[in-house]
Amino acid sequence: MNKPEALIFDLDGTLIDTLEDLADATNAALSSLGLATLPVERYRYLVGAGARKLITRCLSEVAPPLLEDNNQVDQLVSLFKEQYQQNWHQKSKPYPGMEQLVRRLALSGCKMAVLSNKPDPFTQEVIHYFFPDKPFMAVQGQLAGLPLKPDPAGAWHLCRILDADPERTAMIGDLGSDMETAIRAGMLPLAVLWGFRPEDELRDAGAAELFASPEQLEAWLFAGDGASRTT
């Protein structure tokens, strides 16, 4: 595959460092029911698959018996969403270099979109807050009728909006599930190492290229295969 003509970015752990706010909201929900909390760093391995999956992953570590109680799970999901809705921008911020990269890509005419497993209205709000100049042609979170990543349906839907061929599109993310999404969608899987998951997970998931910094990603996108990167 030559250099991609369209790019689909993951949100959490790729464009924006949201880890502390996600951890704080989840821990507040757990604590409100008298449950143990988890270290912020542990959340690197718990987030990325939607709110309910985040809560069940936490419960599997702090209170496994509660996994059998759907009412308790539902309550925790609601508490998490309430906490996160109020405090999602307290500590979150774009990764250094990402705003400049996205701006340069937009000026170059690159077709860009965002695909997240967050609820769609919330995804729109987050992107509008951190990228108010609207560099993305499409922003998409969880939508009714479209399964979450790693199912490729959401990525294909964005390609139709972008009028982009999946084979000429790259998906950029920090999770193994992002790489799986790209591969299942017939796209180029590009992995970033500044996000939530370790290099071995991304390699094992089939990443075609791995980048240690936004500057390395920028060099590769604009200068060709000779750019400095992690391989």
DSSP 92-109: -EEPTTHHHHHHHHHHTT
Same fold, 6-17+92-223 and 19-87: no
* Residue range 154-186, pLDDT digits in tens: 999 999 999 999 999 999 999 999 999 999 999
Q: Is 119 helix (H, G, I), strand (E, B) or coil?
A: strand
- C-beta atoms surrounding 221 within 10 Å: 21
- The pLDDT value given to residue 50: 85
Contact 148, 50 (CB under 8 A): yes
Region of 172 please: left (phi>0), alpha (psi -120 to 50) or beta: beta
pTM equals 0.91
Token couple for 204? 């094992």
Sign of CA dihedral 74, 78, 81, 83: negative
Q: Where are the domains of the chain?
A: 6-17+92-223, 19-87
* Domain with residues 19-87, CATH architecture: Orthogonal Bundle (1.10)
Contact by Cβ (8 Å): 142, 187: no
Tokens of 212: 């240690």
Domain 6-17+92-223 has CATH 3.40.50.1000: yes
Written as one letter, the residue type at 65 is P
CA distances (Å), 6 to each of 125, 144, 160, in order?
Answer: 23, 24, 11
Q: For 132, list phi and psi in degrees, rounded to 5.
A: -65, -15
Q: How far from chain centre, in Å, is Cα 148?
A: 11
Q: What is the pLDDT along the chain (231 residues), one digit of tens a residue?
A: 578 999 999 999 999 999 999 999 999 999 999 999 999 999 999 998 889 999 999 999 999 999 999 999 999 999 999 999 999 999 999 999 999 999 999 999 999 999 999 989 999 999 999 999 999 999 999 999 999 999 999 999 999 999 999 999 999 999 999 999 999 999 999 999 999 999 999 999 999 999 999 999 999 999 754 443 444
